[in-house]
Amino acid sequence: MYEERAARLDGAVVWTRTGTPGDRSDPYPVLPDGCMDLLWTGGRLLVAGPDTRAHIPRGPSTRYCAGVRFAPGTAPALLGVPARELRDLRVETADLWSPAEVGRLTARLAAAPDPAAVLEDVALGLAAGAGPPDPLPRAVVGALDAGRTVAATADAVGLSPRQLHRRALDAFGYGPKTLARVLRLQRALALVRRGVPYAEAALGAGCADQAHLAREVRELAGLTLGGYAALAKRETSQPSGSRTTA
C-alpha cells in the first residue's frame, strides 16, 4: 500500500509503501519524474538520483520503504551533489556525507516508529542549512510544464539555451528537452490514473496523439499504456508521483 502527504518542506512529498504479507506481485516500477528522493529501505539510507528510464526496485515487494521526494531541481542544493552525478543511480548516503553522521541517522531511523517523519526532519534540516532556495528550478519546471519550448523557457528565465542546458544538468540531472518529456509523461500518467481515455490523456498532456503517448511510455517507462494502467490500479492509494521504493 502506497501513501503520501505534503511535506513541511515546500514542494516536497513524504511517502511510505508497505507490502502485504504473501504478496508475490512484481515490484511497482519507479518512473522518471524529474525528482530526487531521500530513502529508507531495507535498513539502508539512500539517495535516489533522477531517472531517465524505469527503475525496478530490488528486494521483496513486502518490504517497508519510506522517503522524501524533493521538488524537481531542489535536491542538489540540499544534498551537496549535482544531479547529473546521480543520474539513474541509487547511492548510499555514506558516499555523500560523513560516516559518523550517516551512522547516527541510520540508528535513529532504525529505532523510529515512524521513519518517514525522521526523513522529513532530516530534509528540513538540510534545507535550513542550505540558505534561500534557487528560484531557477521552479521557473524552468513551470515554463516547460506549461508547454513552452526550450528556447522560450531559456528566454523566460534570462539564460541562453546553452546556459539553460548546463544549469539543468546540475539541477535536474538531464537537459531541458528530456525534462520536458518527463514532465509531459507525468501529466499524461496522472490523467490515465484518473481514468481518462488514452487518446484524451495524450492530447491533454501535450502529445500529438495516442500513438505518440504510447511511444513515450514505452521509451521512458518501459511499459505499454495498458500495462501502466493495470499497475496503477494495483496500488490501493494512487501516487501523484512515481517513486515508491529504492
Question: Higher confidence at residue 59 or residue 79?
Answer: 79
**Residue range 7-26, pLDDT digits in tens:** 999 999 999 998 766 565 66
Architecture of domain 2-130: Sandwich (2.60)
pLDDT bucket at 235, cuts 50 / 70 / 90: low
Please tell me the pTM assigned to this model.
0.90
Upper half-sphere CA count for residue 89 (Cβ side, 13 Å): 13
In angstroms, the CA 107 to CA 30 distance is 27
Average pLDDT value for the chain: 91
In angstroms, the CA 174 to CA 83 distance is 8
Give the pairing of strands 90-92 and 65-69. unpaired
Upper half-sphere CA count for residue 215 (Cβ side, 13 Å): 6
pLDDT bucket at 236, cuts 50 / 70 / 90: very low
**Residue range 124-182, pLDDT digits in tens:** 999 999 989 999 999 999 999 999 999 999 999 999 999 999 999 999 999 999 999 99
In angstroms, the CA 57 to CA 183 distance is 22
Report domain extents, the chain: 2-130, 136-234
Averaged pLDDT for residues 118-127: 98
**Residue range 200-222, pLDDT digits in tens:** 999 999 999 999 999 999 999 99
In angstroms, the CA 170 to CA 168 distance is 5
CA nearest neighbour of 33 among 203, 239, 226, 233: 239
Nine cell digits for residue 84: 547529473
What secondary structure does DSSP assign to 55-119, as a single string? Answer: B---S-TT--EEEEEPPTTTHHHHHTS-GGGGTT-EEEGGGTS-HHHHHHHHHHHHH-S-HHHHH
Q: Residues of the chain with pLDDT > 90: what percent?
A: 83
**Residue range 164-176, pLDDT digits in tens:** 999 999 999 999 9
**Core vs surface per residue 171-190: b (16+ CB within 10 A) or e:** bbbbbbebbbbbbbbbbbbb
CATH fold of 136-234: Arc Repressor Mutant, subunit A (1.10.10)
Encoded amino acid at 180, one letter: A
